[in-house]
Amino acid sequence: MLLARRLPGILYTHRYTVYSVGIILSTFIYFLFKWNLFCVNLQAWQHVKRMCSLYEQGLAIGSLCAPLCVSKDIHSLTCHSFQTAKEAVFSAEWHNIKLVFKSVTTDVQPIHWYDNGILKYPTEKEFLLSIRTIVKRKLNLTLAYDTAVRLARLKPSYEEKDPLKRKQEIDSLWYLLQDNEYLLSTIFTDKDIFPQLIGTCGPYFAVEYLEPVPFTSALFSMGDTLEEWGQRLKFALQILELLDDLETSFREPFHLCDIKLNHFGYMNNKKKLKFIDLDEAFPRTVISSLFQEIDNCLVDDDCEFLDCRSTCNKTTKQCRTSIENNNFQIVCEKIFLGWRMSNTILVPGLLMSQHTPSELASILRQCANPDGVPGKVRKMPDDEIRKRLFNVLYEMEQSLNNDFFL
Ligand SMILES: Nc1ncnc2c1ncn2[C@@H]1O[C@H](COP(=O)(O)OP(=O)(O)OP(=O)(O)O)[C@@H](O)[C@H]1O
Ligand SMILES: *[C@@H]1O[C@H](CO)[C@@H](O)[C@H](O)[C@H]1NC(C)=O
Ligand SMILES: *[C@@H]1O[C@H](CO)[C@@H](O)[C@H](O)[C@H]1NC(C)=O
């Protein structure tokens, strides 16, 4: 009571301190939000409001617009923090399925144009051609006619006959198709490697929700039990299987240039692992041409695209047009071994614990850094190392988990 009565007086005598603390605190909170280090569900609601207002004006179309805006079947919006590339990432629920909404940029030249004040759209044939051009440019892939037709529609097996609605559909698709994540999720529906597309509404699309993987914060998982070690081994094997799929299921290997633990996610009760962040996933020839676009490199560090690395030819000042490391090397370095500074491990990775046998540690060092060079590694580990790692992990996992279930 006494303190409460004296509080205004105390605040007054220390008013400058109070002002400064207030200003520092609000600046801090402002930047937390601005840099998306922190989010509130309000932001998710604002995106829904934007979708619905576009929908009501007839500017957005898609299978998720009505459930969001009319019947309101989509509920339980939850925001996801730590997003950088995409403007919006939030999850929601729809009839017991969880989905994740993402926005695409509308910062590209629209597909329609004006001719003497008259609004013009490409013909169906021209639209198909431009879809194939986008896919060729972004994925170096020549689409089969049927796939192109599927991509030219919002609902794969429904042909919009109403000319006005078709124009809205073309407008929406145009923005969506520029997005790498939307493209990969729609083109490779049969592969079971990327999250499945569930639907769209205007410049937003939703994919299936993936369960977060365990051990995403090594710092906080101090538990070092044998049971947890068994789970780690199983997870590591699933990562290796996913990398195998990326290497062999496509016409050419796919490179993930932004590999982090929280970019993996589970489906079907942890049976199937998928990769979430598809903005930085490219086929090998495409990543090579990205290196080609870098002008005037001076050092090797200039020839990097996040985790994907090439080297600088100092005479021509051009990056070598082939990627020199691969998914396997990155995973060994960043996920399995952990954060290192020179040769000391600062934050132990998934496979570094008191249970790590020296044979495993040695294999991991070889795949993270095949030539044992100082600095950043620009080398793909041999296939031999990959097989040895798989076998060692598999045998340990089998014997451990058999022990548990006996
Ligand atoms: N399909 C999904 N299922 C579950 N969580 C997801 C899904 N998609 C995204 N997330 C969550 O949202 C976060 C940000 O999404 P995403 O990786 O697409 O955006 P980003 O801007 O590339 O973020 P980052 O900073 O992680 O690279 C992810 O790290 C993940 O935690
Ligand atoms: C696309 O792929 C083909 C076949 O693999 C290859 O020959 C060609 O160089 C690639 N194009 C580009 C631009 O990378
Ligand atoms: C740099 O490029 C030139 C011309 O293509 C080539 O002759 C040379 O061998 C390259 N140097 C290195 C170190 O790769």
> Which tokens hold the place of 105?
């940029």
Which sign does the torsion angle of CA 93, 97, 102, 106 carry? negative
Q: Which residues contact 174 (CB under 8 A, 6 or more apart)?
A: 108, 110, 111
- In CATH terms, 212-405 corresponds, of 1.20.1050, 1.10.3470, 1.10.510, 3.30.70, to 1.10.510
Whose alpha carbon is nearest atom 11 of ligand 3? Answer: 313
pLDDT averaged over every residue in the chain: 88
Cβ of 373 less than 6 Å from ligand 1: no
| pTM as predicted | 0.87
Three-state secondary-structure class, residue 276? coil
Whose alpha carbon is nearest atom 5 of ligand 3? Answer: 316
Question: Which atom number of ligand 2 is nearest to the Cα of residue 285?
Answer: 14
DSSP code of residue 200:
E
User: Is 73 a residue whose pLDDT tops 60?
Assistant: yes
> Which tokens hold the place of 97?
């399925």
Tens digits of residue pLDDT in 278-325: 999 999 999 999 999 998 999 999 999 999 999 999 999 999 999 999
pLDDT of 372 reads 87
Whose alpha carbon is nearest atom 12 of ligand 3? Answer: 313
pLDDT exceeding 90 applies to what percent of the chain?
A: 66
Tens digits of residue pLDDT in 332-371: 999 999 876 666 666 788 998 889 999 999 999 999 999 9
Of the listed ligands, the closest to the CA of 324 is 3
User: Is 219 a residue whose pLDDT tops 80?
Assistant: no
- CA–CA distance, 394 with 234 (Å, rounded to integer): 8
Question: Which atom number of ligand 3 is nearest to the Cα of residue 311?
Answer: 14
Distance 342 CA to ligand 3 centre (A): 30
pLDDT of 18 reads 79
Cβ of 209 less than 6 Å from ligand 1: yes
Cβ of 285 less than 6 Å from ligand 2: yes
Cβ of 322 less than 6 Å from ligand 3: no
Q: Which residues contact 25 (CB under 8 A, 6 or more apart)?
A: none
Strand 89-94, strand 344-348: pairing: unpaired
Q: From the centroid of its chain, how far is CA 128?
A: 27
Whose alpha carbon is nearest atom 4 of ligand 3? Answer: 316
> Which tokens hold the place of 314?
């100092």
Question: Pick from 369, 360, 362: which is nearest to 392 by CA?
Answer: 360
Distance 27 CA to ligand 1 centre (A): 26
Of the listed ligands, the closest to the CA of 291 is 2
Tens digits of residue pLDDT in 161-204: 899 999 999 999 999 999 999 999 999 998 889 999 999 999 99
Q: From the centroid of its chain, how far is CA 245?
A: 17
Cβ(316)–Cβ(324) below 8 Å: no
Domain segments of the chain as ranges: 34-209, 212-405
pLDDT band for position 222 (50/70/90)?
low
pLDDT band for position 9 (50/70/90)?
confident
Tens digits of residue pLDDT in 84-127: 567 778 999 999 899 999 999 989 999 999 999 999 999 999 99
Of the listed ligands, the closest to the CA of 320 is 3
- CA–CA distance, 381 with 360 (Å, rounded to integer): 15
Q: What is the largest CA-CA distance in the chain?
A: 80
